[in-house]
Amino acid sequence: HDLFTRTFNPALLQRESSANSGRRMQASELLEAVAKKLHNPRLSALAYKVRLDAFERVKKAIDDMVAQLLKEKDDEVKHKDFCVDEFNKNQLQTEKKERQQQDLTSLIADLELTIKTLSDEIDALKKEIAEMQVQMKRAGEDREKENKEFQPTVAD
């Protein structure tokens, strides 16, 4: 008994069933007797219905519960389908974004290599320009020197 009260709420236990069942059975028997005496099939059906009334409520409750469970099942199936669809969409989006990331990473690497190459070329060209400026300066100095040497020859 102690185990029963710990695992099941005793307040839910039906205590008045036998009294109601006894009264229902007496009413059913009385209706059945009158139906036989009067040969009335409607009273006989009523007696049968009174006897089964408690079961009808239980059957209705069970039917309602089954309907509710079927509705919940349908809702869960719809929710699961929705979740699977969303998961697949997310997975496709993730794969697409990962491909984009790889493409952009490759592009960045290519552009960095191009920048390095162009920077090296710019440095080389700057060195060439500096070297040419030095050569132009020397050429200018050489021309001045030659001009100074040539002027006395022209004056003669």
Which range has highest mean pLDDT (4-8, 41-45, 123-127)? 123-127
Residue with tokens 């493409």: 103
* Confidence at residue 139, expressed as pLDDT on a 0 to 100 scale: 93
pTM equals 0.45
Q: Residue 51 pLDDT > 80, yes or no?
A: no
pLDDT at 48 over 80: no
Average pLDDT of 47-57?
Answer: 73
Identify the pLDDT of residue 4: 52
Listed by start position, the domains of the chain span 2-155
Burial letters 45-80, b for 16+ CB under 10 A, else e: ebbeebbeeeeeeeeeeeeeeeeeeeeeeeeeeeee
Looking at residue 1, the DSSP 8-state letter turns out to be: -
pLDDT value, residue 47: 78
Q: Give me the chain's average pLDDT, please.
A: 85
**Is pLDDT larger for residue 48 or for residue 132?**
132
Which residues does 20 contact at the CB level (< 8 Å), separation at least 6?
54
Percentage of the chain beyond pLDDT 70 is 84
